[in-house]
Structure 1
Amino acid sequence: MSWSFLTSLKYVVKGRESSRETALPKVTEDGMFLKYVTEELQGDTGVVELAVANNGKSLQFAAPALRNDKRIVTVAVQNDPSSFQFASRELQADTTFITEVVCFVPLVVPFLCPEMMENVDMIYELVKANPSVLKTIPSWLKDDISFYVRCLPISKYIVPHLPPPYLKEKDVLMEIVRLNYEVPYKSEEIIKNDESFFRQAVKVNGFVLRYANEEIRSKHDIILEAVNTNPYSIRFINKRNVNKEIALAAV
């Protein structure tokens, strides 16, 4: 029989632990022991903090006031993100607090209340706080390419968290180019031979020319557009393709 089972049996028979001195080392060893202490100790900040630091799920046995304590809930969530479901309703609806928590515990997102998970603007704010949230957003939103395009301007660090299928989408790649982010290698392979893509892309960022194949980088109208957009893109053009018109555009 496990220690937890024997402990449960003992305190069903004996009654709840009321000694703080006895409870402290026990919750330190097994946070779920908080279930077997008196209500007074379940409301003791020191006891509860030690318990949730050992096992975040023990938050469910804390007194209501402590399940509404930001510091206690933060400690619990750091140990186990799923413990956020045991926080008070007030904290579960506190957008400022949630955003703060997501900064260092992005895995808390799947355990937010339904109202939060259905709020696109709220999820957007969480992505702003921590781009890795994109890996834990609701499944219904993962199919919304416009949401990913909306998130891209937040930071270049959004790109590594994009689902692989979206790195093939021209709308997403065009936004990456517009923002002057590094195009992922796998995306380079997809666009390098796509002349129609580059005809549009050089109008927003001449530097995109560096991802084109040699044939595309030799087309006069494309490279002229690139240089007009960004003179420094001339560095990606073979010298034999630089005529007077292109040279003047780069000045």
Structure 2
Amino acid sequence: MSEKALKGLHSSIDLVVKDPARKDYALKALAVHGRALQFLAPQLRADKEVVLKAVKNDGWALQWADQECRKDRELVLKAMSKDVRSLQSPDESIRFGQNNILALKEVLSDPTFALEALKQDGLAYEFLSPDLKQDRELARVAVTQDGHALELLVPELKQDRSLAYKAVQQKGSALEFVPHFANDLMLVSAAVRNDPGAFHWASKELQANREVWLQVCPERLEHWKNLASVEKELHLEGTVLRMADPLLKKDPEMIFQAAVQNRQVLEQLDPSTWRSKDFMLRLAREDLGVLRFAEWQSREDAMEALEVSGMALEFLPEELRADKDIVLEAVGHSGRALQFASAELRSDREVVLKALAQERTALLFAAEHLRRDKAIWLYDGEEPPFFEPPPEEEAETEAPEEEGIVVTE
């Protein structure tokens, strides 16, 4: 994030904390950080204009909208256009999540809404109600919009050859999800015409048949043995490494080039060819997400990964994300890594202050009692005093509207 963007994010947080019930503050904050919706007063989480501003910025913000807003088709469609996963059930840790779950189930059980959603993104099929997932017409719309929706179909619909054909016509690599059709020459040919790499998912019989090769992949046999040709392909799509000659698939530099382009290629290769610590750390400097495939042998390995980026904390095992020394190291490199720490450590004042020393936005991920601590908001890099309100102030139902104090309900 650029310095200018980070400054804007800090300012937006300040506005919300200053007064979570002011709509003008809310709209300014949500234009920068959609998930700030979670910190607004209930009446603003029920305001369609406010929620629309949030989901336009970040579809995931829909999780914190009022249940009535989660029934609003316009809002739900706008959220899923940013992130289709916003259709999944809200996190149970959200205190108003149960009502939201019920509201969402109502929307996802509506056939009219389902059809509209699938035309926008076929992967929305995953979140439909069980009854609607049985609807063949909705399944057809899903795979026609995104062939990879074929993976999500209920088992009986995956057996439908015409649906599989529609899917591979849209995205040849969807052939992977219907291995029972791997020997169907017509269906395999349709997949390969869309994506030559799809031939990897054809049956061994078809792959070994020279006549089939000539029909669906003319001149490809020699192509995948040529180093220069494979390198050129890898710059376009890393996962095509699976089509290369076996010797090339074991070349560390070939694997590195492929994984930089698409980390998923690692799932298709023998782990012994790439799962060394040095290789993973080198690759992590190009794409931190590859650490999801790492095997963590020791705390020392984890510390080395955190030197690449504190955000590597996301990919560490649960027990290491609950290790205070590990988390302190992570947030010392990147304050936002606090979001991946255990709940106990997100409540730890020392850990939160160290994260804040790196970037103030880390406070978004701290435990609620620390987000509402006046001393934390006055923190400027030095150890702040603990804020202990006088007895008469504790007895009041509402705190005075001073700068830096959040008025709670």
Bin for the TM-score computed over the shorter chain: 0.5 to 0.7
For the residues of structure 2 that align with 1:73 and 1:110, how far apart are their CA atoms?
A: 15
2:112 to 80, 96, 99: 96
2:176 counterpart residue number: 163
1:173 to 160, 185, 193: 185
User: How many angstroms does 1:26 deviate by?
Assistant: 0.6
On the 8 A contact 2:33/2:54 being kept in 1, the answer is yes
User: How many angstroms does 1:99 deviate by?
Assistant: 2.4
Which runs of structure 2 are paired with 1:110-189 in the superposition (5 Å)?
Answer: 110-117=126-133, 119=134, 121=136, 124-127=139-142, 129-138=144-153, 141=155, 146-147=159-160, 149-152=161-164, 154=166, 157-158=169-170, 160=172, 161-163=174-176, 166=179, 169-170=182-183, 172-174=184-186, 186=199
Which runs of structure 2 are paired with 1:62-73 in the superposition (5 Å)?
Answer: 62-73=65-76
Counterparts in 2 of 1:126 and 1:133: CA distance versus 1, 3 Å: farther
- The reply on whether 1:61 has 2:61 as its aligned counterpart is no
On the 8 A contact 2:119/2:142 being kept in 1, the answer is no
On the 8 A contact 2:32/2:57 being kept in 1, the answer is yes
For the residues of structure 1 that align with 2:178 and 2:148, how far apart are their CA atoms?
A: 18
For the residues of structure 2 that align with 1:168 and 1:154, how far apart are their CA atoms?
A: 13
1:236 counterpart residue number: none
For the residues of structure 1 that align with 2:122 and 2:143, how far apart are their CA atoms?
A: 11
How many residues align? The count is 186
What secondary structure does 1:88 align onto? helix
User: How many angstroms does 1:82 deviate by?
Assistant: 1.1
Query: Which amino acid is 2:38 matched to?
Result: K
TM-score (norm 2): 0.37
2:31 to 19, 28, 32: 28
Query: Which amino acid is 1:102 matched to?
Result: L
- TM-align CA RMSD: 4.2
Kindly report structure 1 stretches of 4+ aligned residues shifted beyond 6 Å.
Answer: none
Counterparts in 2 of 1:29 and 1:191: CA distance versus 1, 3 Å: same
On the 8 A contact 1:81/1:111 being kept in 2, the answer is no
Counterparts in 2 of 1:165 and 1:112: CA distance versus 1, 3 Å: closer
Identify, as 1 or 2, the structure richer in helix: 1
Counterparts in 2 of 1:114 and 1:193: CA distance versus 1, 3 Å: same
User: How many angstroms does 1:80 deviate by?
Assistant: 1.5
2:54 to 23, 38, 51: 51
User: How many angstroms does 1:166 deviate by?
Assistant: 4.1
Unaligned runs of 5+ in 2: 1-8, 90-102, 217-409
TM-score (norm 1): 0.56
For the residues of structure 1 that align with 2:126 and 2:164, how far apart are their CA atoms?
A: 21
Query: Which amino acid is 1:35 matched to?
Result: Q
Counterparts in 2 of 1:129 and 1:91: CA distance versus 1, 3 Å: farther
For the residues of structure 1 that align with 2:108 and 2:58, how far apart are their CA atoms?
A: 19
Which runs of structure 2 are paired with 1:205-220 in the superposition (5 Å)?
Answer: none
For the residues of structure 2 that align with 1:78 and 1:184, how far apart are their CA atoms?
A: 26
State, as a whole percentage, how many aligned pairs show the same letter: 20
For the residues of structure 1 that align with 2:131 and 2:178, how far apart are their CA atoms?
A: 28
For the residues of structure 1 that align with 2:39 and 2:20, how far apart are their CA atoms?
A: 6
For the residues of structure 1 that align with 2:194 and 2:61, how far apart are their CA atoms?
A: 45
User: How many angstroms does 1:72 deviate by?
Assistant: 0.7
On the 8 A contact 2:150/2:167 being kept in 1, the answer is no
Counterparts in 2 of 1:84 and 1:155: CA distance versus 1, 3 Å: closer
For the residues of structure 2 that align with 1:159 and 1:20, how far apart are their CA atoms?
A: 44
User: How many angstroms does 1:95 deviate by?
Assistant: 2.2
Higher Cα Rg, which structure: 1
Counterparts in 2 of 1:64 and 1:174: CA distance versus 1, 3 Å: same
Unaligned runs of 5+ in 1: 195-208, 212-251
